[in-house]
Amino acid sequence: MKSWKKNGPLVIGGIGGSGTRLVAELCSLFGYYLGDDLNVASDNLLYTLLFRRQTWFYKSYKNTKRINTGLSLLEKLLLKRYTLTINELWFLFYAVLDMILHYRDERLWSLKRLSNILHNPRLIDPQYCGWGWKEPNSYLLLYSMSEHYQDMKFIHTIRHGADMAFSKNQRQLKAWGNLFNIQTPETEVDFPRASLKFWARANNMVAEIGNTLGKGQYLQINYDQLCLQPNTSIGEIINFLDLDIDQDTIIAAQKLPRIPSSLGRYKNQDLNQFDPEDLAIVNKFGFNIDQK
Q: What is the pLDDT of residues 98-157, one digit of tens each?
A: 999 988 888 899 999 999 988 876 666 678 999 999 999 999 999 999 999 999 999 999
Contact between 134 and 44 under an 8 Å Cβ cutoff? The reply is yes
Whether residue 291 is contained in a domain is answered as no
Rg (CA), the chain: 19
DSSP structural state of residue 120: P
Whether residue 290 is contained in a domain is answered as no
Q: Chain-wide mean pLDDT for the chain? A: 94
What's the structural domain count of the chain?
A: 1
Whether residue 184 is contained in a domain is answered as yes
Whether residue 147 is contained in a domain is answered as yes
The whole-angstrom separation of Cα 18 and Cα 164 is: 8
The whole-angstrom separation of Cα 87 and Cα 69 is: 7
The whole-angstrom separation of Cα 197 and Cα 281 is: 9
Whether residue 9 is contained in a domain is answered as yes
Supply the range of the domain harboring residue 188.
4-284
pLDDT at 124: 62
pTM: 0.95
pLDDT at 119: 84
Whether residue 289 is contained in a domain is answered as no
pLDDT at 211: 96
Domain harbouring 276, CATH code: 3.40.50
Query: CA torsion 269→164→23→200, rounded to 10°?
Result: 120
The whole-angstrom separation of Cα 156 and Cα 23 is: 9
pLDDT at 263: 94
Q: What is the pLDDT of residues 118-131, one digit of tens each?
A: 887 666 667 899 99
Q: Angle at the Cα of 74 (from 223 to 154), degrees rounded to 5? A: 30
Whether residue 20 is contained in a domain is answered as yes
Q: Which residues of the chain have pLDDT under 70?
A: 1-2, 121-125, 292
Per-residue three-class SS string for 36-87: CCECCCCCEHHHHHHHCCHHHHHHHCCCHHHHHHHHHHHHHHHCCCCCCCHH
pLDDT at 219: 98
Tally of CB atoms within 10 A around 131: 21
> Which amino acid is present at 91?
F
pLDDT at 255: 97
Tally of CB atoms within 10 A around 212: 10
Whether residue 31 is contained in a domain is answered as yes
